[in-house]
Amino acid sequence: MLPLHLMFISTAKKYSGKIAIADRNMRKNITYGRALIGALLLARKFRRYENGYLGIMIPNSSGSILAIIGALIAGKVPVMINYSTGAAENSEFAQQKCNFHTIITSRALLEKLECRLVPGMVFIEDLVASVTIFEKILAAIKSHLPGFLLNSLVHKAELDDTAVILFTSGSEKAPKAVNLSHRNIASNVISAHQCLHFSNDDIMLCNLPYFHVFGFMANLWLPLSLGLKLVPYANPLDFKTIVRIIREEEVSLMWGTPFFLRGYLKQSRKGDLKSLRTVAAGADKLPAQLREAYQKEHGIEVLEGYGVTETSPLVSVNLPGANKHGSIGRPVPGVQVRIVDIDTQEELPTGEEGKILVKGELVMKGYLDDIEETALKIKDGWYETGDMGMLDEDGYLWHKGRLKRFAKIGGEMVSLVQVESVLESLLKEGIECCVVEIPDARKGAMIAVAVDSEINEKEISKQLSAKLPAIAIPRKYQVFETLPKMGSGKIDFRSTTEMVKEALRKESADKQKPVNKHNNKKAQKKNHEP
């Protein structure tokens, strides 16, 4: 096991002439040898900036790949900034949280987003344009040095040094800065390879943003460490283009959230996805209908897995030939999983539901500058995921929802995820829903639903009553034009909950408004006029 940038150097030396990055925006293929030169050039530029953290906010491209590698070679810690929602605000939040100044970004990105310039932003386009002939020659000479000699000229990182700062999604509370080490990421890369058995000839679609842990591990360091060909594309929501890329580049590996996979399925025709050998889903529950549709229409077996930012992320995954539908797979090599009682913390037997705990080299160093929260989440090396689940008799892990997504109604625990799953099976194709908990004076909480289309509430409630206990039946439905999404395509649970609460407050206030008797009498008189 090596620090990430040394791992890349080793791969680049071994596969110097092999295509590393198929950059479709630049219409250019970059070999591993050229990628190494590019990373060394950027590292030279980055050394001029302050020590410590270096913000990176560049969409998936050769530029973002080389910037991340270059930052590590220069001895900087990349702080990955989410540009999909509030780029300027997220930049300032990251600067304040991590106490740094410089952010490497793209002029083209800011123009596209119509994002204001934040102090400390440096454009990668300007850095590339400023490279001199001398710098190019020097980088080329360095790249041809023997591996051990080149390693002595770059940053000498230890495996337990911080490799990246990533932020949690913030779907339930304010984002936290997660401190992941070289060991965390590298061990997860090794575990993924050991169970999924990638080939050096594999071509990976890199559609998941690098500011998300799923993309950072699976779409960046996993393929780079194995010498695969990366095909980065900045917009995973551009479903039509993604399908075309898969077809034209003969992509064999694709990771995605269920939301993304659904979009690719809708835009694909028979034969479009024939090159895909492995398709893995994560970040959200994989609907059975979606899995079945991929199998029926394209003969593709979608493998569902599980992970969180704090575990680098991959904890468990189903495998070809060992795919238990509905489960999130067996723990990957080197990872331990326990299920414990919510209250007593005692380990539960097979088949019983409780909190999911994870242990192994993949578990984060901690939350940046938050010793208390870290201590609450990691005890004796075991990380408390905040998820509910169970292990079955075959060692497969089953996800039962977020602990935060359980409502205590009249003293009983009700899974919002379960209610949501049943509801989704009853709604028409294309209608999105989110089940939330709302405070209730009488029973402590009640269940409400946000939907993005009008539904027959009476009929839906009747159907739900046949499948769920009375306590789990939603009491309120709120229709919105759209439901707020995270960068991964997941519904933003926290924002949706607040939207529902606000809508219900407004509804209640409108009902309590006093009726103007004078106007009411006039209206009654008018209504009775012949």
- Is 164 inside any structural domain? no
Residue with the larger pLDDT of the pair 284 and 34: 34
| Lowest mean pLDDT, pick from 99-103, 177-181, 499-503 | 499-503
Phi, psi of 358 (to 5 degrees): -130, 140
Above 80 in pLDDT, residue 522? Answer: no
The verdict on 343 and 418 lying in the same domain is no
CA torsion, ordered 358, 360, 366, 372, to nearest 10 deg: 50
Mean pLDDT in residue range 470-492: 85
Q: Give the pLDDT score at 515.
A: 57
- Is 37 inside any structural domain? no
| Lowest mean pLDDT, pick from 69-83, 162-176, 332-346 | 162-176
Per-residue confidence band for 517, with pLDDT thresholds at 50, 70 and 90? low
Above 70 in pLDDT, residue 67? Answer: yes
What are 141-182's pLDDT values in tens digits? 999 999 999 999 999 999 999 999 999 876 556 789 999 999
Q: Give the pLDDT score at 171.
A: 55
Mean pLDDT in residue range 406-411: 72
Q: Give the pLDDT score at 442.
A: 75
Q: Give the pLDDT score at 138.
A: 95
- Report d(CA 493, CA 476) in Å as an integer: 16
The verdict on 441 and 464 lying in the same domain is yes
Phi, psi of 65 (to 5 degrees): -60, -50
The verdict on 352 and 336 lying in the same domain is yes
- Is 8 inside any structural domain? no
Q: From 337, 372, 403, give the residue that closes a domain.
A: 403
For all residues of the chain together, what is the average pLDDT?
Answer: 91
CATH code of the domain containing 490: 3.30.300.30
- Is 27 inside any structural domain? no
- Is 85 inside any structural domain? no
The verdict on 417 and 395 lying in the same domain is no
Q: How do beta strands 77-80 and 53-57 pair? A: parallel
The verdict on 380 and 471 lying in the same domain is no
Which residue intervals of 275-344 are DSSP H helices? 288-298
Percent of the chain with pLDDT over 70: 95
The verdict on 421 and 505 lying in the same domain is yes
The verdict on 414 and 507 lying in the same domain is yes
Distances (CA, A) of 125 to 59, 82, 121, 135: 13, 19, 12, 16
Residue with the larger pLDDT of the pair 526 and 308: 308
Per-residue confidence band for 68, with pLDDT thresholds at 50, 70 and 90? very high
- Domain of 484 in residue numbering reads as 410-512
Residue 472 near residue 448 (C-beta atoms within 8 A): no
- Is 356 inside any structural domain? yes
Q: From 345, 376, 403, give the residue that closes a domain.
A: 403
Above 60 in pLDDT, residue 519? Answer: no
The verdict on 385 and 462 lying in the same domain is no
Tokens coding 366: 């901690």
Q: From 369, 384, 403, give the residue that closes a domain.
A: 403
Most confident of 281-290, 386-395, 483-492: 386-395
How many Cα neighbours within 13 Å face the side chain of 79? 23
| Lowest mean pLDDT, pick from 186-200, 210-224, 309-323, 479-493 | 479-493
Residue 447 near residue 435 (C-beta atoms within 8 A): yes
Per-residue confidence band for 494, with pLDDT thresholds at 50, 70 and 90? confident
Q: How open is the CA angle 460-461-462, to the nearest 5 degrees?
A: 90
Mean pLDDT in residue range 371-375: 92
The verdict on 414 and 398 lying in the same domain is no
The verdict on 392 and 425 lying in the same domain is no
Residue 290 near residue 258 (C-beta atoms within 8 A): yes
Given the structure tokens 């900087």, which residue do they identify? 76
Per-residue confidence band for 529, with pLDDT thresholds at 50, 70 and 90? very low
Q: Give the pLDDT score at 329.
A: 96
| Lowest mean pLDDT, pick from 125-134, 159-168, 517-526 | 517-526
CATH code of the domain containing 379: 2.30.38.10
Percent of the chain with pLDDT over 90: 74
Distances (CA, A) of 141 to 147, 289, 295, 339: 12, 54, 50, 53
The verdict on 419 and 508 lying in the same domain is yes
Which residues, 6+ apart, have CB-to-CB distance to 64 below 8 Å?
A: 56, 58, 210, 232
Say what the pTM is. 0.81
Mean pLDDT in residue range 398-408: 78
- Is 339 inside any structural domain? yes
Above 50 in pLDDT, residue 526? Answer: no
When divided into structural domains, the chain yields a total of 2
- Is 389 inside any structural domain? yes
The verdict on 370 and 334 lying in the same domain is yes
| Lowest mean pLDDT, pick from 173-182, 237-246, 373-382, 404-413 | 404-413
